[in-house]
Amino acid sequence: MDEIDRNLVVALQENGAAGLAELSKVAGLSVSATAERVKRLEEREVIRGWRIDLDPIAAGCPLLAFVFVAMHPGDGDAGFMAAMKQQEAVLECHTVTGAWCYLLKLRLPDIARLEAFVSEVVRGQAGVARTETILALASPKETAILPVAEAEEE
């Protein structure tokens, strides 16, 4: 990514609804050249999609929980990952180092749904040995905006 691409993705992360005229000012290019740049960023999958940022409380899922998952060695990792990818409540699924195999970030409506999800969906997967759930009491910062690296010198 060059400096123009970097400026475009930074601007789009801040306002994904920015129009091409606004983006062309950021890029210092014509509207058509800016549109071409954005299209190439999509084709290269630097831009993986277009979404809106919903307030979790307004969306009906105020409960934020993190679930650590340990697997029995050699059991069901591929099946577990595939199952977690299918679950709406799972916002993120990470393989991690240390005593745990996975870390899940969940959003759910309430404690009862969390309990059912962990008991039935997570622990119900083949190979799951144990879990530990941590509830977030507050989220002073929660973002999907990435710190885009400086452009490389050519």
Judge if pTM exceeds 0.75: yes
Q: 30-78, pLDDT tens digit by residue?
A: 999 999 999 999 999 999 999 899 999 999 999 999 999 999 987 668 8
Q: What is the pLDDT of residue 151?
A: 73
Same domain, 33 and 80: no
pLDDT score of 30: 95
Q: What's the rounded Cα separation, in Å, for the pair 146 and 148?
A: 6
pLDDT given at position 150: 84
Answer whether residue 154 shows pLDDT above 60. Answer: no
Count the domains in the chain: 2
Q: Which range of residues forms the domain containing residue 72?
A: 63-135
Residue 142's nearest CA partner among 67, 69, 57, 81 is: 57
Helices 31-43 and 20-27 cross at an angle (nearest 10°) of: 90
Asked if the structure places residue 86 within a domain, the reply is yes
CATH number of residue 125's parent domain: 3.30.70.920
Question: What is the rounded CA–CA span in Å between residue 36 and residue 33?
Answer: 5
Using one digit for the tens of pLDDT, what is the confidence trace for 102-117? 999 999 999 999 999 9
Closest by CA position to 107, among listed 61, 58, 53: 61
Residue 101 lies in a domain: yes
75 lies in the same domain as 130? yes
Residues forming a β-bridge with 93? 104
pLDDT, tens only, 122-137 = 999 999 999 999 999 9
User: Is residue 60 helix, strand or coil?
Assistant: coil
pLDDT above 70: residue 153? no
